[in-house]
Amino acid sequence: MLLWVLFLLFCLDCGNAITNGGAPADSAGCDMVCNGNSTEYCGGPNRLNLYTTRQAPDGWNVLGCYTDSVNARTLTTGAYPAGTLTTESCLAACRGLNFYYAGTEYAGECYCGNSFSNGGGPAPDGNAQCNMACNGNAQETCGGPNRLNVYQWGDGPSTASSSTVGAGTTTAGDPNNPPSTTTPTTTTTTAPVVTALPDGWSYQGCWIDNANGRVMNYAQADDQSLTVEKCTSLCAELGYSVAGMEYAYQCFCDNYLRMGAANTPDSDCSIPCAGNSAEKCGAGNRLSVYSNSSLTVYPVPSVQKTNLPGDWQYAGCLRDDAANGVRALPYQIILNNNNTATNCISQCSAFGYSGGGMEYGNECYCGDPSDVQAAGDAFVAESECGFACSGNATNICGGARRLSYYTWHGAPLAQWSYPTGNAAGAYQFLIGGVVIPLVTQAAKNGKITFLEKGGTGAPNTTGAYELDLSQINNFTGAWRPMHVKTDIFCSSSLTLPDKAARQINVGGWALDSTFGIRIYTPDGSPGVWGKNDWQENVNVLRLQDGRWYPTSMILANGSILVVGGESGSNAPATPTLEILPKVGPTVYCDWLQRTDPNNLYPFLVVLPSGGVFVAYYNEARILDENTFATTKELPNPPGAVNNFLAGRTYPMEGTAVILPQYAPYTDHLKIMLCGGSTPTQGFALDNCVTIAPEDDNPKWTLERMPSKRVLTCIAALPDGTYLIANGAHQGFGGFGLANDPNLNAVLYDPSKPVNTRFSVMANTTVARLYHSEAILMDDGRVLISGSDPEDDTHPQEYRVEVFIPPYLMGSPDRPSITVPSTDWDYGASYSFSSNYTVAKVSLLGAGASTHGNSIGQRTIFPAFSCTGGACSVTAPPNAHVCPPGWFQMFVLNADGTPSVAQWVRIGGDPAQLGNWPNLPDFQPLPGV
């Protein structure tokens, strides 16, 4: 007897609250039969079958657990009470909106209504699936997946009309006792008589609904004054060709009948319309159907397993409601009218994803099988995937939180290399900084100039500094203070083609700064400070239009093109371009006006065939180099797999580069854009896109990167590869707008086959977010600097690093070169000598790095020949292949190790910038 009492004590638990962390569990754990009734379950090990008398706040009645659907809500009005959801807060919110029914769902959702829509009603499995604890009170349940805990205020809403229609039927519109689906006693078998139908519409019979799922997709709001004329007119106005009435007050529209709909005698559609008792508006799961064309009925949909694109294969019906809340595949695309397996998974593979699937009929998801594994999802019975595709009603596109899941079985869509050791390169601390640079720029004197924005850096700085790389072990000697007169915040820099390789900086933050033109003539030598400083006088030399976030570029004629920006800090757009030295008025660009503010720091390239390529936001075009009128609109660059509006220029801030040009320069030039982000959400992009704009039918080629990047930088390397560094996995340009730093460097090698070009390199520990830079140094390393996030999470970054590419790892022997003549004419040959056998000669345009834009960067591999150590190199043929300017010349040995650069000028100074500006504050001039 004592044992029996103990057994009862352990197996019968009662209480008024759930305590000690008790929470809903999988029903599979409650699998022990009751001792007193082997047909019932009485919990399991550490599991309780829990029964409760659900209480409702005063004035409310508990109706129980009801079915629901994301695409066809049972209660159609969402409510959003303050704070985390409780039963009480939802009911109060619905009553405050004058609704009589309230329902809680999925732990944190609240819905209201005065009737039950879309066929929703008491759940066939009782309360079993209304088992999720409320977010705001774990001792209450707030529905479940596609399940509502439903409550009624008082006696519910009054019914506008009622009509007894035969045995087993009820008052029309009573959602708690829906009309019977059994055949009523009425003997009417002819079509209902209606008037004033839209032209061409006629009765098509009574049809069974919900035998295999909804046979019409587009439910309208419940209408207690519904008539046949009202429903058909509404569907006609919405562009549908089929209308159906059900339950007296429900109206559905579509262009077809779906899910194997079957005709049934007219007598089955026996409920009077809520707005006209002389007309019939269906019955329980019966539709009175009207149409203006011949009626098409689609069969019950099936899974598409054949005629799939590429090497895709169907994997199965996959759960997408893992306990940790992570979606099985991360990228969602809503395709309300054209979701099919072919359309969905073709989009996934086009963006390099090898997993794809459809859900809820109109949702497409992309990702990788590794995402599914990380989410912990598993396959379920095929019967749980039964929604017809929005683009093909004969095929299945998942179910409620269930994916029709497909995987790629062909050659890898994106294949990345993971080198180790010396082959991965290395980050290395270089020196502590004195400013957070906004622009870094290599100079002809072997030094690097740093320009600083005002206001947020260290106090008492001078706004500009020059870093002497030969004095790294002498902090004071390494940093020469320089001076600017106005704030260069978000300005643009480049190297001029004059004899002195002067640097120019234009634009700025606000007021006079936005009109600023600042010039510096590099002097001094390694180990010896120069004496020159930045020259500026906005009262005598200024831009025609104020510009914040502009881009500048040297044109083929040697003039300076300045494009875009805004008229001041967060001010209206400056949708113009202008020429320096001043030539005529500014030129208005409607495309800059239209895409403001997403087009800042546009990417500019001189094209070998003539003209100027410009990429901005998510567009690109070619401009006439004389009039700057558009000569060719290019296709929009691909964005994110789920958002074509993703952008590449600030504030969505990706980066761009010109891919290498090789003698004899017959191949069309290719331009690559990498990274960026999506509007509003700031989801960073994980792809690069490349185009040859001079092709007759140019198209973008997309390559998936190993990781997502926004605020990223790119630096061209002497061997024709490119280092991608810095940035974040999420966010935008601007203060405090990005997070999750991307600490990994990636090497891009365009000589490899497409989709195999990325190598995952070394990591840094230094976050480089907004206002970071990457610039090629003369010794072949990449200087990495900056980060000014202003987010109270990541530091303002003064430390300066270098990235050491693989070609300099392990102390390799590097060639040296002597170049007697450094002023080259187009097409001419020039001698040089080297102490190693020369495998390659490369010319890299002198660059300035800011906001992902590497201004002036260009990679050219000219023709050369050698006899022993005596060599000759042929300059590029013209100013379109190679705009006039200064280049870092490298030679590489057979191992790919580069020399230290020698600076050469190609094409002279055709715009005679060396004689400009002939003003007192800008003397002496270097001359032509």
Distance, in Å, from the CA atom of 632 to the CA atom of 634, rounded to the nearest integer, reads 6
Please choose, from the candidates 90, 89, 249, the residue with its C-alpha nearest in 3D space to the C-alpha of residue 162.
249
Q: What is the pLDDT of residue 178?
A: 31
- Average pLDDT estimate for 554-570: 96
Q: Is 242 left (phi over 0), alpha (psi -120 to 50) or beta?
A: beta
Distance, in Å, from the CA atom of 537 to the CA atom of 484, rounded to the nearest integer, reads 10
Q: What is the pLDDT of residue 71?
A: 73
Q: What is the pLDDT of residue 710?
A: 98
Query: By the 8 A CB rule, do 520 and 465 touch?
Result: no
Residue 376 has pLDDT above 80, yes or no: yes
pLDDT band at 40 (very low <50, low <70, confident <90, very high): low
Determine what percent of the chain is predicted with pLDDT higher than 70: 90
- DSSP-derived secondary structure for 728-755: EEEE-SSTT-EEEE--EEEEE-TTSPTT
Please choose, from the candidates 299, 326, 328, 303, the residue with its C-alpha nearest in 3D space to the C-alpha of residue 316.
303
Q: What is the pLDDT of residue 169?
A: 25
Q: What number of helices (H) and strands (E) belong to the chain?
A: 7, 65
Q: What is the pLDDT of residue 328?
A: 96
Q: In what order do the strands lie in the sheet with 576-580?
A: 551-554, 560-563, 576-580, 587-588
Residue 9 has pLDDT above 60, yes or no: no
Q: Convert the pLDDT of each residue in 422-467 to its tens digit.
A: 999 999 999 999 999 999 999 999 999 999 988 777 888 999 999 9
pLDDT band at 132 (very low <50, low <70, confident <90, very high): confident
Quick one: tokens of 304?
């598409």
Q: What is the pLDDT of residue 781?
A: 98
Q: How far is CA 73 from the centre of its chain?
A: 29
Between 161 and 730, where is the model more confident? 730
Residue 322 has pLDDT above 80, yes or no: no
Distance, in Å, from the CA atom of 877 to the CA atom of 874, rounded to the nearest integer, reads 8
Q: Convert the pLDDT of each residue in 623-675 to its tens digit.
A: 999 999 999 999 999 999 999 999 999 999 999 999 999 999 999 999 999 99
- Average pLDDT estimate for 84-102: 89
Beta bridge partners of 229: none
Q: What is the pLDDT of residue 54?
A: 54
- Average pLDDT estimate for 747-774: 97
Residue 164 has pLDDT above 50, yes or no: no
Q: What is the pLDDT of residue 838?
A: 96
pLDDT band at 157 (very low <50, low <70, confident <90, very high): confident
- Average pLDDT estimate for 178-206: 61
Distance, in Å, from the CA atom of 778 to the CA atom of 441, rounded to the nearest integer, reads 12
Distance, in Å, from the CA atom of 383 to the CA atom of 390, rounded to the nearest integer, reads 18
- Average pLDDT estimate for 730-751: 96
- Collapsed DSSP state (helix, strand, coil) of residue 474: coil
Q: Is 444 left (phi over 0), alpha (psi -120 to 50) or beta?
A: alpha
Query: By the 8 A CB rule, do 226 and 274 touch?
Result: yes
Quick one: tokens of 795?
């530091």
Query: By the 8 A CB rule, do 727 and 712 touch?
Result: yes
Mean pLDDT, all residues of the chain: 90
